Structure 1
Amino acid sequence: MHQRFTAEQLATGSILIALAVMGLKAAAWMMTGSVALLSDALESLVNIGGAVMAWFAVRYAQRPPDAGHPYGHHKAEYFSAVAEGIMIVIAALLILNEAIGALNRPSVADWGYAGLLVNAAAMAVNLIWARVLLRAGGRLSSPALSAGGRHLMSDVWTSAGVLAGLVLALSSGWAILDPLLALLVAVNILREGWLVIAASVNGLMDTAAPESERVRVEEIIHRSAAGAMQVHGLKTRRAGRALFVEFHMVVDGAMSVRAAHDICDRVEAALREAFANAEPVIHVEPEHKLEPAGIKPR
């Protein structure tokens, strides 16, 4: 079903899901007083902020190019993902503060399994939505949706570990497990925050498209640039959903401009058919610009 959703609809859904999960986790914490469940709820609070930022970023990134942004607004999603990563780190620091304080006052006297079941329901909702976001983020090449999906999956694993530990604490009476689990949650969240920030900063630095996409681009050029002598200097970069492709195409110097332009049109059409948001730029050169190595069209 998620394949019919647009990025904006998914971002809106993320806000609603985050609010629902936050409510469930807050209820679980109030039912138990567990600092580990409090830490889990605090992470969901970050999810709400991240979902709101992703919603704004996805809408802004869809704006068409204008005079001030001739290459489009695609990178707005990377800024959203960086901001979410920073929020994740802040949440981890807050959890560390709570956990360290609770080490001196561990208690499980008033706990019951009802609160844990509520938290488990929240975890199940997060798992389902995380899988939706990860698949849609890849399909739509959306950094904001992918970052949200990775964060939710981290939240799921955190919740699973917390629940397992708290069940052990209830059955064994080892109250110290509660703040210790909160410390582990904080470390895991710090790690996830770093990964989200690092991945997004790479996008802002104009890193090349993934290897699988570069191989596919080369194959498309190889079969669609018939009539050209060589293609070299291939460069790619991802900017959100946009794939920028730039290369030099060598043709016979006696070839007419119209014939060379027809080849360019054919290559561009093939690239845009394979990549919905491809932005190819082709520089045509005469035969004396041949390089020792390059792509030789069929």
Structure 2
Amino acid sequence: MNPSSNQIKILAGVFSLVTAGLLAVLKLWVGVSQGSLALLASALDSGLDFLTSSVNLYALHQAARPADSEHRYGYGKAEAIAGLFQSLLVAVSGGWILFHAARHFLKPKAEIPEISSLYVMLVSLVLTTFLVLYQRSVIRKTGSLLVSADHLHYVSDLLGNLLVLLSVALAMQTGWDWVDPLAGAVVSLYLLKGAWEIFKKSTDILMDRDLSHEYRDSILRVVKGRSPQVLGYHDLRTRSAGERRFLEFHLEMPKNLTLEESHKILDSILDELKEEFPYTEVLIHPDPVEVNRNGRTLLDREAPRFY
């Protein structure tokens, strides 16, 4: 049995939490035993990663809960709320890196880490690389906003460690002290761009941004394929909550159709749309239309608002 989308996302959250926990313990242990303030500071950073991953895992569990009497549309927006938090965290990290990159660019100085720190950094690189690659595969399968945000966060850690090793190597071989701040600035801009994209996607979900353009062609095909029993549509509205999407529209049908005939047509349309969009809940409201030689008249009391 293949795991569900929610199970895949939660497993990614667990993997992220375990990775952050292992790195925090490793850095703390080596930092205390070696008396390295740099490693202790890095352990604190990994501890914050562990805390963030814990929040993300909780949000993923919440988002996976089914709809109930108090939350009729489910808990999918929990992902967007946590994604918003993550985007702000990544933006702060990017800004901090950019600030220090600018300062070091004015006064270049290559800091050579201790040997113990380099070993821990290599272990961190390996674990974080596996995590980032796994998260990328989860994102491709589920399109999860929160996993995407967490992925961006760990990419920043990965690039940061790589830059330290690269700048140290170049400084030792060539004396190019300016490589470190320049690379740091590039990474910070990448993080700020990614943080903005996550922030925008999160706010779009929370503010119920319309997704009608993704469905309009399919609805037009359905309408044309069932003429003359279906004459048109209006008031198309969509929104999303996590991976769940909600689609509703009014279907224009001849007023002389019986209730049974209308119901059969609606059922066939629902089946077709659900097959094409498996994570979308569809609600269709039939509107009677009077058809005569002068054209057709929509008998609904309210004029259409959207098409």
The match for 1:169 among 168, 171, 188 is 171
Contact 2:252-2:288 at 8 Å conserved across structures:
yes
Q: Which amino acid aligns with 2:298?
A: K
Give 1:280 shift.
0.8
Contact 2:163-2:180 at 8 Å conserved across structures:
no
Structure 2: distance between partners of 1:17 and 1:220 = 48
Q: Per-residue CA shift, 1:51-104, capped at 9, x if unaligned?
A: 211111111112222232222111011011111222234445666787789887
Contact 1:24-1:122 at 8 Å conserved across structures:
no
Structure 2: distance between partners of 1:16 and 1:224 = 52
- Aligned residue for 2:10, secondary structure, equals helix
1:41–1:90 distance in 2 versus 1, CA, 3 Å: farther
* Aligned counterpart, 1:123: 125
- Aligned residue for 2:168, secondary structure, equals helix
Give 1:41 shift.
6.8
Report 1:46-195 matches (<5 A): 46-92=48-94, 106=109, 108=111, 111-112=114-115, 115-116=117-118, 118-173=120-175, 188-195=190-197
Q: Report the structure number with the largest CA radius of gyration.
A: 2
Q: Which amino acid aligns with 1:264?
A: L
Structure 2: distance between partners of 1:184 and 1:33 = 28
Q: Which moved more, 1:117-126 or 1:75-84?
A: 117-126
Structure 2: distance between partners of 1:34 and 1:145 = 31
Give 1:137 shift.
3.1
TM-score (norm 1): 0.75
Q: Please tell me whether residue 214 in structure 1 is matched to residue 188 in structure 2.
A: no
Report 1:9-28 matches (<5 A): 9-22=11-24
Q: Which amino acid aligns with 1:214?
A: Y
Contact 1:82-1:200 at 8 Å conserved across structures:
yes
Structure 2: distance between partners of 1:58 and 1:176 = 41
Structure 1: distance between partners of 2:97 and 2:36 = 14
Structure 2: distance between partners of 1:225 and 1:141 = 33
Structure 2: distance between partners of 1:98 and 1:27 = 27
Q: Per-residue CA shift, 1:142-189, capped at 9, x if unaligned?
A: 221222223333443443333322211232355676677666655554
Structure 1: distance between partners of 2:111 and 2:265 = 73
Q: Which amino acid aligns with 1:147?
A: A
* Aligned counterpart, 2:276: 274
Q: Which amino acid aligns with 1:247?
A: F
The match for 1:244 among 238, 246, 255 is 246
- Aligned residue for 1:6, secondary structure, equals helix
Contact 2:230-2:252 at 8 Å conserved across structures:
yes
How many residues matched? 291
Give 1:202 shift.
1.9
Q: Which moved more, 1:138-147 or 1:51-60?
A: 138-147
1:245–1:99 distance in 2 versus 1, CA, 3 Å: same
RMSD: 4.3
Contact 2:223-2:231 at 8 Å conserved across structures:
no
Give 1:264 shift.
1.7
Q: Which amino acid aligns with 1:146?
A: S
TM-score (norm 2): 0.73
* Aligned counterpart, 2:10: 8
* Aligned counterpart, 1:234: 236
Contact 1:231-1:247 at 8 Å conserved across structures:
yes
